[in-house]
Structure 1
Amino acid sequence: MTRLIRTLCAFAVAIWSGAAGSAWAGSQDGVLLTVRLAGEESAPVTFTRSELEALGETSFETETIWTTGTQTFSGVSLLALTTHLGVSEGVLQARAINDYMVEVPVSDAVEGGPIIAYERNGAEMSVRSKGPLWLVYPYDSNPAYKTEAVYSRSIWQLDRIDVQQ
């Protein structure tokens, strides 16, 4: 009986893990990021990987406090995303798949600033490796990016943003 219970539990965990993993990797239509604009009654804006790429891909190399060695990140710049959305002020409430939330001032969206990375070292990021999206700053390019405030904004497993103005 104990063996049967263990087998059933293992089976249930395997099914749950597969279902949760699929939901976190993006919906079936490939949506990776959902953005809700402040005061908008319309549907949220959604982005697939190809739609994010269409905004212009950018890359940089940097070390992080969460990884070992220099990493290459590729994604869409926060500036390109906010410009595309027509957002020039306010706060971005960036949320992860587990509902963890950080507030990022729109003023962080500058040329040569943070990106919403969808690749690290040339590969898509799995949920286990901080993906599918990670708001990452070019920490090595500017000492101002090596602060606790900026580190706290570097949210991984990002899947949605609420714009607050």
Structure 2
Amino acid sequence: MEPRRLVITRNCITCGSNRHGKPDLLLPACGRRLEFNLSRSGEHAVLAVSGRAVGVDIEWVRPDVDWQGLGGHAFTSQEMEWLRARPSVTSDFDAARLWTRKEAVLKLTGSGLSGGLNNTQVLSTESLGEWTLVRQADLEVWVCEPSLHSGCSVSVAAYSPRRVRLFSMPPPVD
């Protein structure tokens, strides 16, 4: 399909405007919508594509981020307890993992960071294969954490554990 024939639409879940909000791609030839979401961190990027709503986030795991200091702004009290109980050798990765889960879930729902990081609980004990079920007050979201880039945490969120295509771009080689 010629790129000029692709139609990107937007829909704001808060006000219904089509001038901003989560984008999707309309495929005029078949009348279907293709959902996508993009994230980048440093020189790493990941694109998630699905026939249904999808959210994705990638974060470079950096030891200089003060995850404990972000605590009340980014994590629920249960998540802070979980992080404190983690071995110190994995704490940076564990915190980045929670962060990417949260961003992927918030991007899936279309609320973005305004949806409230510290109001979004992403710990779970239920799983189906590589997908983990995250229950919100009135919402069930499935999260998967593929290993795409060493040193990065990647999370993909969807309303059902269905096939989501991921495309990642490695950093340029010098």
What TM bracket, shorter-length normalisation?
under 0.3
Provide TM-score, normalisation by structure 1.
0.26
Taking structure 2 as the reference length, what is the TM-score of the superposition?
A: 0.25
Q: Which has the higher helix share?
A: 1
